[in-house]
Amino acid sequence: IFSENRLSYAVVALFAVGSSVLQTSLLSGKVSNVFSPRFFVGFIVEQTWKESGPVLEPAKVAEYVVKQGGLAVLLPMLILIGLTIYEFIRGRNKYRPFLLLAFTAPYVFAFCCQVSVDILANHKFIQLTILLYDVFISGLLAILFLLPVRMRSSNTDSPTAPPDGFIQTSRWLCILTRFAGVLVAVVLLFSLVGTGLSEWFVQHNRNRDSIRLNLNSEMVQWIDENTPERSVFLTRDWYIHDFYLSGRMAYYGWPYYAWSAGHDTNARIQTYEWLLTGCAGDVELFRQTCASEGIDYVIVDLELLSYIDAHGEHIANGEFFFENLTEVAYFPNDSEARIFAVNY
């Protein structure tokens, strides 16, 4: 608002929004709710149920903000108060408090609006605000750490007798102030960085298992050499697997990515599980369904046969595929994978 080039920022913002809308319209396929903003207060804060319905209590919102952000949120609030008092009284740069308020806008937006079916996506707005807050927090820490140096230089440059309007303070009080400033900076730095380090170790310990992809997979090589590039495979709902190295499409992969982009994965999983049963053993219906869904091949391996539905039942009908479809490839070293051609 206070920048001399604010018109340039408006042009950049216009192009950014236009580019986003264009990409959404061209790349989202038939999905119409990739971006579907609606008013939704509270983010993921648990609401209290009363006779009139769900009620969002401000105390719970404050508790979540403090637990989630900690000092990264509390310090900017104190900085805002301090800057407002200091800069308006001293008549200095009055724009910094407004800038800090502008940095808060994404945080407020995250608690007031839902932009997609996945409300957790609003975490991006919260992270953006905290990243911008770090500019002011870093400035505060720098001032506290450099307080002894700044006070020493000011004492060196000043005359022996203080000018009119200045209060001469005790030397020990100045030393104590410098020491306290550095001590506060160390405590704040340790608190801000220490929580991140502890979370990093937790994340590291939770992800000790590694997933290895076989770049020389025989199955991938066969698929690449013997199937059209636009082929669609009925597979296990993998989120990562050697199969994806072939560049072929899976009819039903890990649903979160498609669901969060606005696709109707609930309808897709019903069709997917229906196909795993062999359409209740009806070969003609199975072929018709595959034709309408564009499925060309089926990969039956140990992972697919172990698929469990929401009711805890193994529904994959391995015998149906062996008896009614044409097996075109077998890879005993790839989870005993067998590729069947639908031949519809």
Q: Would you say residue 192 lies in a domain? A: yes
Q: Give the residue carrying structure tokens 């009819």.
A: 251
Residues 42 and 188 in one domain: yes
Residue 304, exposed/middle/buried by CB under 10 A (0-12, 13-18, 19+)? buried
Residues contacting residue 137 through CB under 8 Å, at least 6 positions apart: 72, 75, 76, 79, 192
Count: domains in the chain: 3
Residues 61 and 163 in one domain: yes
Rounded Cα–Cα distance for residues 35 and 119 (Å): 12
Residues 165 and 300 in one domain: no
3-state secondary structure of 253: coil
Scanning the chain, the segments in alpha helix (DSSP H) are 6-27, 58-69, 71-90, 95-112, 123-145, 147-157, 171-206, 218-226, 255-260, 265-276, 278-281, 283-293, 302-305, 318-324
Q: What is the pLDDT along the chain (344 residues), one digit of tens a residue?
A: 566 777 888 888 899 888 887 877 776 666 666 667 788 888 888 888 777 777 788 888 888 998 888 888 999 999 999 888 887 777 767 788 888 999 999 999 999 998 888 888 899 999 999 999 999 999 888 888 887 766 555 555 555 555 544 445 567 777 787 888 888 888 888 888 887 788 788 877 877 777 889 999 999 999 999 999 999 999 999 999 999 999 999 999 999 888 887 778 888 999 999 999 999 999 999 999 999 999 999 999 999 999 999 999 999 999 999 999 999 999 999 999 999 999 85
Domain that holds residue 248: 218-341
- Among 160, 180, 206, give the residue marking a domain's end: 206
Main-chain dihedrals φ then ψ at residue 48, nearest 5 degrees: -95, 130
Q: Would you say residue 30 lies in a domain? A: yes
Residues 7 and 146 in one domain: no
Rounded Cα–Cα distance for residues 289 and 28 (Å): 24
Residues 49 and 185 in one domain: yes
Per the structure block, which two tokens stand in for 314? 């193994």
Residues contacting residue 103 through CB under 8 Å, at least 6 positions apart: 76, 129, 132, 133, 135, 136
Is the CB of residue 135 less than 8 Å from the CB of residue 75?
no
Residues 199 and 66 in one domain: yes
Is the CB of residue 136 less than 8 Å from the CB of residue 78?
no
Residues 28 and 125 in one domain: no
Tens digit of pLDDT for each residue in 159-200? 555 554 444 556 777 778 788 888 888 888 888 888 778 878
- Among 173, 206, 239, give the residue marking a domain's end: 206
